[in-house]
Amino acid sequence: MLAAFSVAPSGGEEPDASVHEAVAAAVDIVRRSGLPHRTDSMFTTIEGGWDEVFAVIKEATEAVGEFGTRVSLVVKADIRPGYTGEIEGKLDRLEKAIDARRED
């Protein structure tokens, strides 16, 4: 499965403060998990089995909770049993499709 998630604190003492320290704590947990992952400006995508992926998301969410009194978590999952390497594979297929359109 692929799971893209975004987690951020709220309710802290500084309502307009940047959340980069909290996000750094979450991304560090993802990186230490050893699972394939990719982080961009909006989401972190992680690949693995259901239990291992959601265990990492839970740990990352708990780490962010230390930065505020509330936590916002958004998760989108692509569950496709029997497939691995999709964190790169989906992008490879997309690039091939774009290249094919340009050749027409």
- The pLDDT of residue 10 is 86
Q: What is the pLDDT of residue 17?
A: 60
Q: How does pLDDT run across 5-63, given as a tens digit for each residue? A: 999 998 766 655 678 999 999 999 999 999 999 999 999 999 999 999 999 999 999 99
What is the Cα–Cα distance from 7 to 9, expressed in whole angstroms? Answer: 7
pLDDT, position 78:
97
User: What integer pLDDT is reported at residue 16 of this predicted model?
Assistant: 56
Return the pLDDT at 18: 72
What is the model's pLDDT at position 11? 77
Judge contact between 83 and 36, C-beta under 8 A.
Answer: no
Domain ranges of the chain: 2-103
Q: What is the mean pLDDT of residues 83-103?
A: 95
CA distance to 30, 52, 72, 100, 102, per residue, from 41 (Å): 15, 23, 16, 28, 28
Domain 2-103, second-level architecture: 2-Layer Sandwich (3.30)
